[in-house]
Amino acid sequence: MLRKFKISIDGKEYLVEMEEIGGVPQPIPAVQPVAAPAPKEETPKSEEVVAAQSTSSEPAGADALTAPMPGTILKVLVQVGDTVAENQPLMILEAMKMENEVVANKAGTITGIHVAQGEVVNPGDALITIK
């Protein structure tokens, strides 16, 4: 059975999954959402953008674009209602000290953003829905 733990090393938080070997399986408590850490550089405009990005007009469905690897969302480049072209950058995902662009897999309109700046994601987590 896999168990998730949040650890902090030198002030940076990491989400770790570990497999429990042996012992008696324990019931899993309900997972509580963790608030995203505030960005270090804040301006009134960035607060408005972060608030707009964290709202999603629809829940993540099976057609949502998913995270290709574990990492932290550094920046969301689009908003709900924006029209995007195929291969247009949508967000920046930091993984292993490298910045990776997450690009649109098809042209369309952003109908939902399911992550916020600073949020830690795992492979397969829903990021954005494009219709």
Look at residue 21 and tell me if it is in a domain: no
Can you give the residue range of the structural domain that contains 68? 43-131
pTM over 0.75: no
Look at residue 47 and tell me if it is in a domain: yes
- Convert the pLDDT of each residue in 59-113 to its tens digit: 666 678 888 899 999 999 999 999 999 999 999 999 888 898 889 889 999 998 9
* β-pair type (98-103, 126-130): unpaired
Please tell me the total count of domains within the chain.
1
54: CATH: 2.40.50.100
Look at residue 22 and tell me if it is in a domain: no
- Cα–Cα distance between 121 and 114 in angstroms, integer? 11
Look at residue 38 and tell me if it is in a domain: no
Look at residue 34 and tell me if it is in a domain: no
Smallest CA-to-CA distance from 85 within 62, 110, 64 is with 110
Look at residue 99 and tell me if it is in a domain: yes
- Convert the pLDDT of each residue in 21-60 to its tens digit: 765 555 656 656 666 666 665 444 444 444 444 444 456 6
Look at residue 127 and tell me if it is in a domain: yes
Look at residue 2 and tell me if it is in a domain: no
CB-based contact 9:2 (threshold 8 Å): no
C-alpha separations of 77 from 15, 17, 87, 90, 117 in Å? 24, 29, 13, 5, 10
Structure tokens that stand for 122 in this block: 């795992």
